[in-house]
Protein backbone atom coordinates (compact mmCIF):
# COMPACT_ATOMS: atom_id res chain seq x y z
CA UNK A 1 0.00 0.00 0.00
CA UNK A 2 1.54 3.28 -1.11
CA UNK A 3 1.58 6.49 0.89
CA UNK A 4 -0.40 9.50 -0.30
CA UNK A 5 1.14 12.94 -0.69
CA UNK A 6 -0.58 16.28 -1.23
CA UNK A 7 1.39 17.71 -4.12
CA UNK A 8 -0.65 20.85 -4.71
CA UNK A 9 -3.50 22.96 -3.36
CA UNK A 10 -5.63 25.64 -4.96
CA UNK A 11 -8.62 27.79 -4.01
CA UNK A 12 -10.63 30.63 -5.45
CA UNK A 13 -11.60 33.64 -3.46
CA UNK A 14 -14.55 32.72 -1.22
CA UNK A 15 -17.41 35.21 -1.22
CA UNK A 16 -20.32 36.57 -3.21
CA UNK A 17 -19.52 35.74 -6.84
CA UNK A 18 -22.98 35.29 -8.36
CA UNK A 19 -21.90 35.90 -11.95
CA UNK A 20 -19.35 33.08 -11.95
CA UNK A 21 -20.43 29.53 -12.81
CA UNK A 22 -19.32 26.41 -10.95
CA UNK A 23 -17.23 25.24 -13.89
CA UNK A 24 -15.49 28.62 -14.05
CA UNK A 25 -14.74 28.55 -10.32
CA UNK A 26 -13.43 24.99 -10.41
CA UNK A 27 -11.25 25.78 -13.41
CA UNK A 28 -9.47 28.43 -11.33
CA UNK A 29 -9.04 26.30 -8.21
CA UNK A 30 -8.15 23.09 -10.01
CA UNK A 31 -5.65 24.63 -12.35
CA UNK A 32 -4.03 26.47 -9.43
CA UNK A 33 -3.67 23.14 -7.60
CA UNK A 34 -2.11 21.44 -10.64
CA UNK A 35 0.29 24.34 -11.11
CA UNK A 36 1.18 24.28 -7.42
CA UNK A 37 1.85 20.55 -7.67
CA UNK A 38 4.03 20.82 -10.74
CA UNK A 39 2.44 17.76 -12.37
CA UNK A 40 1.73 17.38 -16.06
CA UNK A 41 -1.97 17.76 -16.77
CA UNK A 42 -1.92 14.63 -18.92
CA UNK A 43 -0.75 12.66 -15.86
CA UNK A 44 -4.04 13.30 -14.02
CA UNK A 45 -5.87 9.97 -13.96
CA UNK A 46 -9.14 11.00 -12.35
CA UNK A 47 -11.17 13.89 -10.95
CA UNK A 48 -13.13 13.39 -7.73
CA UNK A 49 -15.53 16.30 -7.46
CA UNK A 50 -17.80 17.42 -4.62
CA UNK A 51 -20.97 19.40 -5.22
CA UNK A 52 -24.22 19.52 -3.27
CA UNK A 53 -26.87 21.71 -4.85
CA UNK A 54 -25.93 22.20 -8.49
CA UNK A 55 -29.31 20.98 -9.72
CA UNK A 56 -31.02 23.70 -7.69
CA UNK A 57 -28.59 26.58 -8.09
CA UNK A 58 -27.61 26.01 -11.74
CA UNK A 59 -30.08 23.39 -13.00
CA UNK A 60 -27.02 21.24 -13.65
CA UNK A 61 -26.44 17.66 -12.63
CA UNK A 62 -23.73 15.26 -13.86
CA UNK A 63 -21.06 17.78 -12.99
CA UNK A 64 -18.09 15.40 -12.87
CA UNK A 65 -17.30 15.57 -16.60
CA UNK A 66 -17.75 19.36 -16.53
CA UNK A 67 -15.19 19.56 -13.71
CA UNK A 68 -12.64 17.57 -15.72
CA UNK A 69 -13.33 19.71 -18.77
CA UNK A 70 -12.87 22.89 -16.73
CA UNK A 71 -9.60 21.51 -15.41
CA UNK A 72 -8.45 20.78 -18.94
CA UNK A 73 -7.86 17.06 -18.46
CA UNK A 74 -9.01 13.94 -20.26
CA UNK A 75 -9.78 11.64 -17.35
CA UNK A 76 -12.73 9.87 -15.71
CA UNK A 77 -14.57 12.22 -13.36
CA UNK A 78 -17.20 11.51 -10.73
CA UNK A 79 -19.33 13.84 -8.66
CA UNK A 80 -19.72 13.04 -4.94
CA UNK A 81 -22.62 14.36 -2.87
CA UNK A 82 -22.79 14.23 0.91
CA UNK A 83 -24.27 17.65 1.71
CA UNK A 84 -21.61 19.91 3.24
CA UNK A 85 -19.19 16.97 3.37
CA UNK A 86 -19.29 16.42 -0.39
CA UNK A 87 -15.68 17.22 -1.23
CA UNK A 88 -14.49 15.61 2.00
CA UNK A 89 -16.04 12.35 0.83
CA UNK A 90 -14.58 12.85 -2.65
CA UNK A 91 -11.14 13.36 -1.13
CA UNK A 92 -11.47 10.27 1.05
CA UNK A 93 -12.18 8.11 -1.99
CA UNK A 94 -9.26 9.63 -3.86
CA UNK A 95 -6.94 8.94 -0.92
CA UNK A 96 -8.03 5.31 -0.83
CA UNK A 97 -7.58 4.84 -4.57
CA UNK A 98 -4.05 6.24 -4.57
CA UNK A 99 -3.20 4.09 -1.56
CA UNK A 100 -4.49 0.98 -3.23
CA UNK A 101 -2.47 1.56 -6.37
CA UNK A 102 -5.48 2.43 -8.55
CA UNK A 103 -3.85 5.71 -9.60
CA UNK A 104 -0.72 7.81 -9.10
CA UNK A 105 -2.18 11.27 -9.71
CA UNK A 106 -5.71 12.36 -8.80
CA UNK A 107 -7.42 15.71 -8.35
CA UNK A 108 -10.00 16.00 -5.57
CA UNK A 109 -12.01 19.14 -5.07
CA UNK A 110 -15.39 20.78 -5.08
CA UNK A 111 -17.44 23.83 -5.90
CA UNK A 112 -20.63 25.52 -4.84
CA UNK A 113 -22.46 28.42 -6.41
CA UNK A 114 -25.03 29.79 -3.97
CA UNK A 115 -25.34 33.59 -4.02
CA UNK A 116 -27.12 33.65 -7.40
CA UNK A 117 -30.09 32.42 -5.34
CA UNK A 118 -32.09 34.61 -2.99
CA UNK A 119 -31.72 34.10 0.75
CA UNK A 120 -35.01 32.22 0.83
CA UNK A 121 -34.00 30.07 -2.13
CA UNK A 122 -30.58 29.21 -0.73
CA UNK A 123 -32.11 28.39 2.67
CA UNK A 124 -34.60 26.07 0.98
CA UNK A 125 -31.87 24.46 -1.12
CA UNK A 126 -29.65 23.83 1.90
CA UNK A 127 -32.60 22.37 3.82
CA UNK A 128 -32.74 19.33 1.55
CA UNK A 129 -29.74 18.00 3.49
CA UNK A 130 -32.18 17.46 6.36
CA UNK A 131 -34.93 14.82 6.51
CA UNK A 132 -37.54 16.13 4.07
CA UNK A 133 -40.36 13.99 5.40
CA UNK A 134 -39.90 14.52 9.12
CA UNK A 135 -37.93 17.79 9.41
CA UNK A 136 -38.21 20.00 6.33
CA UNK A 137 -42.00 19.63 6.05
CA UNK A 138 -42.24 20.71 9.67
CA UNK A 139 -40.33 23.91 8.87
CA UNK A 140 -36.90 22.96 10.17
CA UNK A 141 -33.98 24.90 8.67
CA UNK A 142 -30.35 24.45 9.60
CA UNK A 143 -30.17 27.57 11.82
CA UNK A 144 -33.13 26.13 13.71
CA UNK A 145 -31.63 22.65 13.87
CA UNK A 146 -28.30 23.87 15.22
CA UNK A 147 -30.16 26.13 17.65
CA UNK A 148 -31.83 23.01 19.04
CA UNK A 149 -28.44 21.34 19.31
CA UNK A 150 -27.03 24.39 21.12
CA UNK A 151 -29.97 24.47 23.53
CA UNK A 152 -29.55 20.78 24.29
CA UNK A 153 -25.82 21.28 24.85
CA UNK A 154 -26.37 24.18 27.26
CA UNK A 155 -28.93 22.14 29.19
CA UNK A 156 -26.68 19.09 29.49
CA UNK A 157 -23.21 20.58 29.84
CA UNK A 158 -23.55 24.28 30.49
CA UNK A 159 -22.20 27.15 28.45
CA UNK A 160 -23.47 30.53 27.39
CA UNK A 161 -23.99 32.66 24.31
CA UNK A 162 -20.85 34.55 25.32
CA UNK A 163 -18.83 31.34 25.09
CA UNK A 164 -20.06 30.90 21.52
CA UNK A 165 -19.29 34.54 20.74
CA UNK A 166 -15.65 33.89 21.57
CA UNK A 167 -15.60 31.18 18.87
CA UNK A 168 -16.82 33.70 16.29
CA UNK A 169 -14.36 36.36 17.44
CA UNK A 170 -11.45 33.91 17.20
CA UNK A 171 -12.28 32.76 13.70
CA UNK A 172 -12.86 36.27 12.37
CA UNK A 173 -9.46 37.30 13.77
CA UNK A 174 -7.83 34.35 12.00
CA UNK A 175 -9.35 35.34 8.65
CA UNK A 176 -7.98 38.88 8.63
CA UNK A 177 -4.85 38.03 6.65
CA UNK A 178 -6.38 35.25 4.53
CA UNK A 179 -6.85 36.72 1.06
CA UNK A 180 -9.18 33.83 0.15
CA UNK A 181 -11.58 34.55 3.04
CA UNK A 182 -15.02 36.06 2.62
CA UNK A 183 -14.82 38.22 5.76
CA UNK A 184 -11.37 39.62 6.47
CA UNK A 185 -12.27 41.73 9.47
CA UNK A 186 -12.33 41.32 13.21
CA UNK A 187 -15.42 41.48 15.39
CA UNK A 188 -15.81 41.89 19.14
CA UNK A 189 -17.67 39.77 21.65
CA UNK A 190 -20.07 42.66 22.19
CA UNK A 191 -20.82 42.85 18.45
CA UNK A 192 -21.48 39.11 18.34
CA UNK A 193 -23.79 39.25 21.34
CA UNK A 194 -25.66 42.29 20.01
CA UNK A 195 -26.13 40.94 16.49
CA UNK A 196 -29.67 40.03 15.36
CA UNK A 197 -31.14 36.75 16.55
CA UNK A 198 -31.38 34.04 13.90
CA UNK A 199 -32.72 31.11 15.93
CA UNK A 200 -32.45 31.36 19.69
CA UNK A 201 -29.82 31.04 21.15
CA UNK A 202 -27.92 31.57 17.88
CA UNK A 203 -27.43 35.06 16.47
CA UNK A 204 -26.09 36.37 13.18
CA UNK A 205 -22.41 36.05 14.11
CA UNK A 206 -22.94 32.45 15.21
CA UNK A 207 -23.65 31.48 11.60
CA UNK A 208 -21.42 31.08 8.57
CA UNK A 209 -22.30 33.06 5.43
CA UNK A 210 -23.73 31.93 2.10
CA UNK A 211 -20.71 31.59 -0.16
CA UNK A 212 -19.51 30.89 -3.67
CA UNK A 213 -16.14 29.26 -4.26
CA UNK A 214 -14.07 26.27 -5.25
CA UNK A 215 -11.09 24.34 -3.94
CA UNK A 216 -8.89 21.47 -5.10
CA UNK A 217 -5.91 19.38 -4.08
CA UNK A 218 -3.64 17.14 -6.14
CA UNK A 219 -2.88 13.77 -4.60
CA UNK A 220 0.06 11.69 -5.76
CA UNK A 221 1.61 8.42 -4.75
CA UNK A 222 4.91 8.58 -2.91
CA UNK A 223 6.60 6.76 -5.79
CA UNK A 224 5.31 9.29 -8.32
CA UNK A 225 6.50 12.18 -6.14
CA UNK A 226 9.98 10.70 -5.85
CA UNK A 227 10.24 9.73 -9.53
CA UNK A 228 9.18 13.19 -10.66
CA UNK A 229 11.14 15.05 -7.98
CA UNK A 230 8.04 16.79 -6.63
CA UNK A 231 8.10 18.99 -3.55
CA UNK A 232 5.25 17.16 -1.82
CA UNK A 233 6.15 17.41 1.83
CA UNK A 234 2.69 16.78 3.31
CA UNK A 235 1.07 13.35 3.47
CA UNK A 236 -2.49 12.27 4.22
CA UNK A 237 -1.87 9.47 6.67
CA UNK A 238 -5.34 8.88 8.04
CA UNK A 239 -8.91 8.97 6.77
CA UNK A 240 -12.20 8.10 8.43
CA UNK A 241 -15.91 8.45 7.84
CA UNK A 242 -18.92 8.15 10.13
CA UNK A 243 -22.68 8.40 9.91
CA UNK A 244 -25.72 9.07 12.08
CA UNK A 245 -29.49 9.13 11.87
CA UNK A 246 -30.67 11.88 9.55
CA UNK A 247 -33.36 13.50 11.68
CA UNK A 248 -32.51 15.01 15.06
CA UNK A 249 -35.55 13.46 16.75
CA UNK A 250 -34.24 9.99 15.89
CA UNK A 251 -30.94 10.46 17.72
CA UNK A 252 -30.15 9.47 21.26
CA UNK A 253 -28.46 12.76 22.08
CA UNK A 254 -28.47 15.87 19.89
CA UNK A 255 -25.79 17.53 22.03
CA UNK A 256 -23.12 15.22 20.63
CA UNK A 257 -22.01 14.19 17.13
CA UNK A 258 -21.16 10.47 17.17
CA UNK A 259 -20.63 10.39 13.39
CA UNK A 260 -17.65 12.70 13.83
CA UNK A 261 -16.36 10.65 16.76
CA UNK A 262 -16.54 7.51 14.62
CA UNK A 263 -14.76 9.22 11.73
CA UNK A 264 -12.06 10.62 14.00
CA UNK A 265 -11.36 7.32 15.72
CA UNK A 266 -11.00 5.61 12.34
CA UNK A 267 -8.71 8.34 11.01
CA UNK A 268 -6.51 8.37 14.11
CA UNK A 269 -6.14 4.58 14.04
CA UNK A 270 -5.38 4.70 10.34
CA UNK A 271 -2.63 7.27 10.88
CA UNK A 272 -1.32 5.78 14.10
CA UNK A 273 -1.78 9.02 16.05
CA UNK A 274 -3.88 10.23 18.97
CA UNK A 275 -5.65 13.55 19.60
CA UNK A 276 -2.68 14.56 21.76
CA UNK A 277 -0.42 14.41 18.69
CA UNK A 278 -2.43 17.01 16.76
CA UNK A 279 -0.86 20.46 16.43
CA UNK A 280 -3.47 22.31 14.36
CA UNK A 281 -7.02 21.64 13.18
CA UNK A 282 -9.57 22.88 10.68
CA UNK A 283 -13.07 21.96 11.83
CA UNK A 284 -16.55 22.38 10.38
CA UNK A 285 -17.90 25.47 12.16
CA UNK A 286 -21.00 26.13 10.09
CA UNK A 287 -22.34 27.48 13.38
CA UNK A 288 -20.31 28.29 16.47
CA UNK A 289 -21.90 25.40 18.37
CA UNK A 290 -20.71 23.10 15.57
CA UNK A 291 -17.09 23.94 16.39
CA UNK A 292 -17.73 23.06 20.02
CA UNK A 293 -19.23 19.70 19.08
CA UNK A 294 -16.35 19.04 16.69
CA UNK A 295 -13.69 19.73 19.32
CA UNK A 296 -15.25 17.19 21.65
CA UNK A 297 -15.92 14.60 18.95
CA UNK A 298 -12.31 14.80 17.80
CA UNK A 299 -11.15 14.00 21.32
CA UNK A 300 -9.48 17.35 21.99
CA UNK A 301 -11.76 18.12 24.93
CA UNK A 302 -14.08 16.16 27.20
CA UNK A 303 -17.81 16.67 26.82
CA UNK A 304 -18.78 20.01 28.30
CA UNK A 305 -15.27 21.44 28.06
CA UNK A 306 -15.16 22.43 24.39
CA UNK A 307 -17.56 25.32 24.86
CA UNK A 308 -15.06 27.43 26.79
CA UNK A 309 -11.99 26.50 24.72
CA UNK A 310 -11.98 29.72 22.68
CA UNK A 311 -12.81 31.92 25.67
CA UNK A 312 -9.93 30.35 27.62
CA UNK A 313 -7.51 30.87 24.72
CA UNK A 314 -6.88 27.17 24.18
CA UNK A 315 -7.92 27.18 20.51
CA UNK A 316 -6.81 30.68 19.55
CA UNK A 317 -3.87 31.25 17.20
CA UNK A 318 -1.45 31.33 20.14
CA UNK A 319 -3.19 28.61 22.13
CA UNK A 320 -2.16 25.02 22.73
CA UNK A 321 -4.28 23.84 19.79
CA UNK A 322 -4.98 26.52 17.16
CA UNK A 323 -8.29 25.78 15.46
CA UNK A 324 -9.50 27.26 12.18
CA UNK A 325 -6.48 29.42 11.43
CA UNK A 326 -8.04 29.91 7.99
CA UNK A 327 -10.98 31.71 9.57
CA UNK A 328 -13.10 28.58 9.40
CA UNK A 329 -16.44 28.37 7.68
CA UNK A 330 -17.52 31.19 9.95
CA UNK A 331 -15.29 33.85 8.35
CA UNK A 332 -13.50 32.15 5.43
CA UNK A 333 -16.91 31.16 4.08
CA UNK A 334 -18.79 27.96 3.32
CA UNK A 335 -19.37 27.08 -0.35
CA UNK A 336 -20.66 23.74 0.81
CA UNK A 337 -19.34 21.48 -1.94
CA UNK A 338 -15.89 23.04 -1.71
CA UNK A 339 -15.45 23.15 2.06
CA UNK A 340 -13.91 19.73 2.71
CA UNK A 341 -11.02 20.11 0.30
CA UNK A 342 -10.58 23.78 1.24
CA UNK A 343 -9.81 22.65 4.79
CA UNK A 344 -7.15 20.25 3.50
CA UNK A 345 -5.74 22.95 1.22
CA UNK A 346 -5.44 25.33 4.18
CA UNK A 347 -3.83 22.68 6.38
CA UNK A 348 -1.39 21.73 3.64
CA UNK A 349 -0.18 25.32 3.45
CA UNK A 350 -0.04 25.63 7.23
CA UNK A 351 2.12 22.51 7.49
CA UNK A 352 4.29 23.57 4.54
CA UNK A 353 4.87 26.94 6.16
CA UNK A 354 3.53 29.11 3.33
CA UNK A 355 0.16 30.06 4.86
CA UNK A 356 -0.37 33.58 6.19
CA UNK A 357 -0.88 32.09 9.66
CA UNK A 358 1.92 29.50 9.55
CA UNK A 359 3.91 31.70 11.92
CA UNK A 360 1.52 30.66 14.68
CA UNK A 361 2.30 26.96 14.20
CA UNK A 362 5.96 26.97 13.10
CA UNK A 363 6.66 23.52 14.52
CA UNK A 364 3.38 21.87 13.51
CA UNK A 365 3.76 18.31 12.27
CA UNK A 366 0.22 16.92 12.47
CA UNK A 367 -3.04 18.50 11.34
CA UNK A 368 -6.65 17.31 11.32
CA UNK A 369 -9.47 18.28 8.97
CA UNK A 370 -13.07 17.68 10.10
CA UNK A 371 -15.86 18.02 7.51
CA UNK A 372 -19.54 17.44 8.35
CA UNK A 373 -22.76 17.11 6.38
CA UNK A 374 -26.13 18.37 7.55
CA UNK A 375 -26.48 18.18 11.32
CA UNK A 376 -23.48 15.81 11.26
CA UNK A 377 -25.40 12.90 9.81
CA UNK A 378 -22.23 12.55 7.71
CA UNK A 379 -18.68 13.22 8.84
CA UNK A 380 -15.24 12.82 7.30
CA UNK A 381 -11.93 13.29 9.10
CA UNK A 382 -8.45 13.38 7.57
CA UNK A 383 -5.06 13.37 9.28
CA UNK A 384 -2.25 15.26 7.56
CA UNK A 385 1.40 14.98 8.56
CA UNK A 386 4.67 16.52 7.50
CA UNK A 387 6.31 13.72 5.52
CA UNK A 388 9.54 12.27 6.82
Give the catalytic positions in this structure: 84, 334
Task: Name which of 378, 382, 381, 384 is nearest 84 in CA terms.
Answer: 378
Amino acid sequence: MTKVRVAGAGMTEFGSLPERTSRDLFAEAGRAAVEDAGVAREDVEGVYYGNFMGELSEHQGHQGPLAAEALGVQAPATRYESACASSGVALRQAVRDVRNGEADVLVAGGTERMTNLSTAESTEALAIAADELYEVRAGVTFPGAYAMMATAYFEQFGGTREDLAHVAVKNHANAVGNDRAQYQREITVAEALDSPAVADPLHLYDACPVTDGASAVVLVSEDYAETNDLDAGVAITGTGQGGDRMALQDRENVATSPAATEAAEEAYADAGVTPDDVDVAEVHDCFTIAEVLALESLGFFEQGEGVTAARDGKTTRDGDLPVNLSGGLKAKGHPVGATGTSQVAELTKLLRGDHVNSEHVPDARVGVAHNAGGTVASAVVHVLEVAE
